[in-house]
Every structure is written in structure tokens, then in C-alpha cells.
């Protein structure tokens, strides 16, 4: 018998249809994967089950949970179900916890509410569940506040809250998307164990096909609010009968064809000047002030890093979150001052120069950020946004010239010239990332630093953006410093990879070699934790014999 049964669910919010005839079921002890790209209605399906939909939503169809008709249930009945029989884990561990309450209070809150347990009893149970999710009281007392925990630890607290009352159904909406691969693997393991222990049903929502394949017994693929294909994970993904399934699977493992006229110019001998040379670079942040005269140990975000890059070369910088990748990138871009060490760009030192002296270097060095939503001023039109770097040119272009250059850059990234009179909110995430790239290449830079440029994008969009990066690399001879925690991306687009761990570069080599035969512990850990679609499908098939 199914625990959760969704039949012919239709949902519209205002005038917009969100879900069209969705069918889905979860049995106890089963992991159901719900996959789709952004806007496909995954989260809305989950919120319907919780009845936490925004105002003006109209639902039709049938949703039954454990014999209760969810769509007809009263708010009181739902309050009794939420957090007790149905638990939910959200994507963003930073905002899913209340910053002014201790983790103990937050875990105990639901327990006290639903079981009417005394404070002491509830705390006892909170202690037990926090211990179970890997936050033992000896190291993480209940009196900790969320800001004292790391992202992965916070997500464990969120899971503890969701599982505190041993729910029959756990809904996890992109539970690991905000975490790096190593933490992702740990959290997924934890979820898998909890499901097995308590014989829970798990509805796992993700855009990452590899993650779902590793976790889910059955899979439902959603697109534009409609179920495209559903069934046994191994069968659906190995046979790939439905064209959309095939498209998703291919996009997940997409490797752009890198048509390059000339191979990396390493063979020009030692006389060639490297494009970028970083020597013994460090960045320390002063420790927290413990008292008036005492400070804690300083943090070494970047610790004695040296490397060099040749023109036109594409290098990946991979590492776990907090390993210093982004700090290093900012120093290379001269947005942050190093504590010690030297950066040379085309032979000229960048360190210790005034903003005016940096102009020539800035012209040849641009940046693409991760968040396609946060990297544009919402109040300016695309023309001004994309033209921003033109500021560093020696002679300011006239208005007409500027429009010409912007139009050209937009054309190069596959957008129309008429788009320059729009505002950024009129574009989708993928289009904005194209805008971001247009802004980066408008001055014809020699080096583009890309900080997680595709991790916020859907797989099919990601494949297109990776193609675009590869194409521009070939066409304009731009060198990339690609910062990523996603090894698939590193493999797809770079010649060399550097593995960073705790502020140091621990391994460097050809991308393929490092990723296939990692030498250092940090690299081995990353490679082992990275979800891989082919491997996951193979394992699934093997399990089933």
C-alpha cells in the first residue's frame, strides 16, 4: 500500500498553470526521486503535499497520505501532520534555521508541540536525534546557535528537526544543492540510513540526475508541470526511452567539443612569459577578538600558493567550500589585497598598485560570477551593464560606438542586439549567465576568472553555457581560471586542474590524469564523493543483477 498517493494533481496559481495531471506515489521505506529543471513544478508538488502553497492557488485531483485526503484536510489536521508524520528538509541551510534560537530549542520545538512532552523530555529527545545525525552533544551542545555551525552541520540540524518525530514521509527539496560534493555525499548517506532505520518514505527532489540515481529506487521526471516519465530508476535511465529523459541524461554528462586551433603553448619554452604568475601568495584574516588585548588565531584563507598560467590555457581550480578558492580568485582580480606574496599579470606586478595603475591590467582581466541573479544591478539596463568594463578603455567610446560594442558582445554570446534595452529581470537564469559572459568579453580580455559559473544553472542550460565557454576559448584565445567544486565541469572544459585544500594547492596536473588517478588525499576525497551518472546507473543495474 502506498504511503503517499498523488493522482491527477492539477495546480494553478492565479492564472498560471503550474502542475498538469501529476501522478506520483511513495511506499514506506522507498526513495522516490523527483527530477526536473527549474520551473518544472518539483517544489510546488512538495508544497502541495504539505499544503503550504501560496495564496491564490487552486488545486484539483487527489492527494492521499496514509489514508488522509490532504486536499480536503482542515488546517488543524494539516498542522498535526506537518512536522510529525511528514517532515521536510529545505535547500538552503542558511535560511531554514532561525538565527536567534539555539539548535536545541529548534529541534525541541516540534517535539514539544506535537507530543506535549515536557521541556526536559523534549531536550532529551533532541539530544538523541542530534547525536544520530552526527552532532554529538560533547562537541555540539544544544546551546549552539546556527551561525556557529558550518553549512553541512546546519543541514544536519535541519534533517534532525525533520526526523525528530520519526515521520512516515520525509520530503527533501534539493537537500544538498547548497553543499560541496564531499558534504553532499555525507548528507545523502545520512538520509539513506535514516530512511532504512525508520522505514520512512523519502521524496527526494533534485535537479541533479546523478544524485537521484544514486539515491532513488524509483524516479519521476517532471517538465513544465507534467510527468514525462516515471518508473524504476535503473530501467528509466539505462533505457532512456523518453526523449526528454535522454536529453537530461546527455546534458548531465555533456562535454563540449573543444575545437582549438593551437594546443596550449607550453612548448614555446621557458622564454615565453606566463599570462599569470602567482608566487607564494597568502591571505590571512585576523582572528576573532577574544578580549581587549587578545585575538584568536588568524585564519589562513590562502596559504603560500604558487602557480602560473600560459595564455589561452584553461585551468580549473577545484576544492571544497571554504578551501580558499574564491579568496584566491579575488586576489588575482585585485579585488582583495594579499597579506604576502606576489601576483604578476603578463609580467607586471599587480600587488600594491593603485586603482589607476591597475587599469591596463583590468582591461585584460574579467570575471564571471556564480549567481546569475546577484551579478547585475537590477536598476540598470543591459546596455549599461554589459558596457560596464568599457570604463577601463583609454578613450571612452561614444554612445553609438558603445551600443555597437554591446551589440557585438551580445551577438557573440547568442543574444539579440535588441536585448540591450531590457532590464536583467526580464531574462532567465541561463540568459543572464550569457549576459555575464558578454560583460566579461567585451574588452577582449586575455584572462577570464569564472567563479562557479554554471553551478546555479539547470543541466541543459549548463551544457549550453559550457559550450559557449569552450567556443569563446577557441575563438578569442581567452585563458580561463575556472573555479568549481563540480568535477564534471572541470573535466568538460579545462586542460589542467589544481586541487586546493585548506588554503594550499595540493595537486596539479592534466585534468584527465588528476581526476582519474588522484594522488593527494584531498583530491581522492573529492573524486570519490562526486556523483557520476554513468557509475550510478551501472551500480543500480548491478544491484538488480
Residues that bind another protein (CB under 8 A): 330, 333, 335, 355, 358-359, 362-363, 365-367, 369-371, 374-381, 383, 385, 388-389, 391-392, 399-400, 403-404, 407-408, 411, 417-418, 421, 423, 425, 439
- Please, which residue, 289 or 411, has the CB nearer to another protein? 411
Residue number with CB closer to another protein (214 or 364): 364
Smallest gap from Cβ 411 to another protein, in A, equals 6
Question: Nearest distance from residue 38's CB to another protein, in Å?
Answer: 19
Smallest gap from Cβ 498 to another protein, in A, equals: 21
Taking a C-beta distance cutoff of 8 angstroms, is the pair 346, 273 a contact? yes
In order of 17, 380, 440, 475, 489, the CA distances from 368 in angstroms are 34, 18, 6, 18, 15
Residue-level length of the chain:
545
Tell which residue, 144, 143, 107, has the closest CA to residue 126. Answer: 107
Q: Where are the alpha helices (DSSP H) in 2-118?
A: 42-50, 75-81, 103-115
367 bridge partner residues = 449
Running DSSP on this structure, what letter comes out for residue 328?
Answer: H
* Between 104 and 389, CB nearer to another protein: 389
- Check: CB of residue 253 under 8 Å from CB of residue 246: no
Which CB sits closer to another protein, 223 or 432? 432
Q: Cell 512536522 belongs to which residue?
A: 83
User: How many Cβ atoms are within 10 Å of 464's Cβ, its own excluded?
Assistant: 20
- The residue with cell 564534471 is 488
State whether residue 211 is helix, strand or coil: helix
| Nearer residue to another protein within complex by CB, 223 or 362 | 362
End-to-end Cα distance, the chain: 26
Closest to another protein by CB, 404 vs 521, is 404
Kindly list the strands in the beta sheet with 31-35, ordered across the sheet, starting from the edge strand earlier in the chain: 86-89, 169-173, 201-206, 31-35, 218-223, 226-232
Beta carbon nearer to another protein, 288 or 408 = 408
* Residues in Cβ contact with 102 at an 8 Å cutoff, skipping those fewer than 6 apart: 142, 143, 144, 145
> CB of residue 283 vs another protein: minimum separation in angstroms?
16
Q: How far is the CB of 226 from another protein (least distance, A)?
A: 27
User: Which is closer to another protein, CB of 215 or CB of 438?
Assistant: 438
* Shortest distance (Å) from residue 150 CB to another protein: 20
Say which residue the cell 518508473 belongs to. Answer: 231
Dist. CA 330–CA 336, nearest whole Å: 6
Residue nearer to another protein on the CB measure, 125 or 439? 439
The Cα diameter of the chain in Å comes to 77
CB of 488 to another protein, least distance (A): 24
Of 16, 4, 8, 7, which Cα lies nearest the Cα of 58? Answer: 16
Closest CA to 323 of 512, 529, 180: 180
Nearer of residues 263 and 374 to another protein, judged by Cβ: 374
**CB of 440 vs another protein, minimal distance in Å:** 9
**Locus of grid cell 496559481:** 13
Report in angstroms how near the CB of residue 89 gets to another protein at its nearest: 27
Shortest CB 374 distance to another protein, Å: 5
Cell of 140: 555540539
Q: How far is the CB of 389 from another protein (least distance, A)?
A: 4
- Closer CB to another protein, residue 392 or residue 506? 392
Give the span between the Cα atoms of 482 and 103, in whole angstroms: 36
DSSP-assigned letters across all residues of 238-267: HH--SHHHHHHHHHHT-------SS--TTT
Spatial distance between the Cα atoms of 85 and 173, rounded to a whole number of angstroms = 17
Beta bridge partners of 505: 500
Amino acid at each position: 500500500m502506498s504511503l503517499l498517493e498523488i493522482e491527477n494533481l492539477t495546480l494553478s496559481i492565479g492564472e498560471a498553470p503550474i502542475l498538469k495531471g501529476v501522478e506520483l506515489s511513495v511506499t514506506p521505506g522507498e526513495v522516490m526521486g523527483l527530477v526536473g529543471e527549474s520551473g518544472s513544478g518539483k517544489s510546488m508538488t512538495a508544497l502541495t503535499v504539505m499544503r503550504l502553497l501560496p495564496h491564490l492557488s487552486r488545486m484539483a485531483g487527489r492527494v492521499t497520505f496514509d489514508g488522509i485526503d490532504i486536499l480536503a484536510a482542515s488546517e488543524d489536521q494539516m498542522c498535526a501532520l506537518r512536522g510529525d508524520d511528514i517532515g521536510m528538509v529545505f535547500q538552503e541551510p542558511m535560511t531554514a534555521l532561525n538565527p536567534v534560537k539555539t539548535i536545541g530549542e529548534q529541534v525541541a520545538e516540534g517535539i514539544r508541540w506535537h507530543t506535549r512532552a515536557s521541556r526536559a523530555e523534549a531536550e532529551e529527545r533532541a539530544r538523541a536525534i542530534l547525536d544520530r545525525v552526527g552532532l554529538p552533544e560533547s562537541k555540539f551542545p544544544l546551546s549552539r546557535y546556527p551561525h556557529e555551525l558550518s553549512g553541512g552541520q546546519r543541514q544536519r540540524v535541519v534533517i534532525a528537526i525533520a526526523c525528530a518525530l520519526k515521520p512516515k514521509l520525509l520530503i527533501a527539496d534539493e537537500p544538498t544543492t547548497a553543499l560541496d560534493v564531499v558534504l553532499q555525499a555525507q548528507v545523502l548517506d545520512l538520509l539513506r540510513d535514516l530512511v532504512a532505520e525508520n522505514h520512512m518514505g523519502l521524496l527526494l527532489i533534485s535537479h541533479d540526475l546523478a544524485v537521484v540515481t544514486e539515491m532513488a529506487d524509483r524516479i519521476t521526471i517532471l517538465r513544465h508541470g507534467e510527468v514525462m516519465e516515471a518508473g524504476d530508476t535503473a530501467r528509466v535511465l539505462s533505457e532512456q526511452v523518453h526523449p526528454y529523459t535522454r536529453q537530461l541524461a546527455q546534458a548531465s554528462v555533456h562535454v563540449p567539443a573543444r575545437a582549438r586551433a593551437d594546443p596550449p603553448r607550453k612548448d614555446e619554452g621557458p622564454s615565453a612569459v606566463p599570462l599569470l604568475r602567482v608566487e607564494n601568495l597568502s591571505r590571512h584574516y585576523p582572528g576573532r577578538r577574544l578580549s581587549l588585548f587578545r585575538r584568536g588565531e588568524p585564519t589562513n584563507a590562502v596559504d603560500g600558493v604558487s602557480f602560473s598560467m600560459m595564455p589561452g590555457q584553461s585551468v580549473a581550480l577545484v576544492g571544497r567550500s571554504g578551501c580558499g578558492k574564491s579568496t584566491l580568485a579575488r586576489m588575482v582580480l585585485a579585488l582583495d589585497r594579499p597579506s604576502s606574496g606576489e601576483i604578476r599579470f603578463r609580467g607586471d606586478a599587480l600587488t600594491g598598485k593603485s586603482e589607476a595603475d591597475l587599469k591596463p591590467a583590468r582591461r585584460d582581466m574579467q570575471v564571471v560570477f556564480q549567481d546569475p541573479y546577484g551579478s547585475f544591478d537590477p536598476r540598470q539596463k543591459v546596455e549599461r551593464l554589459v558596457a560596464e568594463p568599457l570604463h577601463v578603455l583609454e578613450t571612452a567610446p561614444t554612445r553609438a560606438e558603445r551600443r555597437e560594442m554591446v551589440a557585438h558582445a551580445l551577438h557573440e554570446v547568442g543574444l539579440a542586439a535588441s536585448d540591450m534595452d531590457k532590464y536583467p529581470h526580464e531574462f532567465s537564469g541561463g540568459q543572464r549567465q550569457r549576459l555575464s559572459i558578454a560583460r566579461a568579453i567585451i574588452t577582449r580580455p586575455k584572462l577570464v576568472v569564472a567563479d562557479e559559473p554554471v553551478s546555479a544553472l539547470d543541466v541543459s542550460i549548463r551544457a549550453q553555457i559550457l559550450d559557449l565557454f569552450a567556443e569563446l576559448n577557441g575563438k578569442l584565445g581567452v585563458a580561463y581560471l575556472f573555479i568549481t567544486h563540480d568535477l564534471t565541469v572541470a573535466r568538460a572544459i579545462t586542460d589542467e586542474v589544481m586541487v586546493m585544500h585548506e588554503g594550499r594547492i595540493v595537486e596539479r596536473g592534466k585534468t584527465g590524469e588528476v581526476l582519474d588517478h588522484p594522488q593527494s588525499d584531498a583530491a581522492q576525497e573529492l573524486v570519490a564523493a562526486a556523483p557520476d551518472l554513468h557509475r550510478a546507473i551501472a551500480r543500480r543495474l548491478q544491484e538488480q543483477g
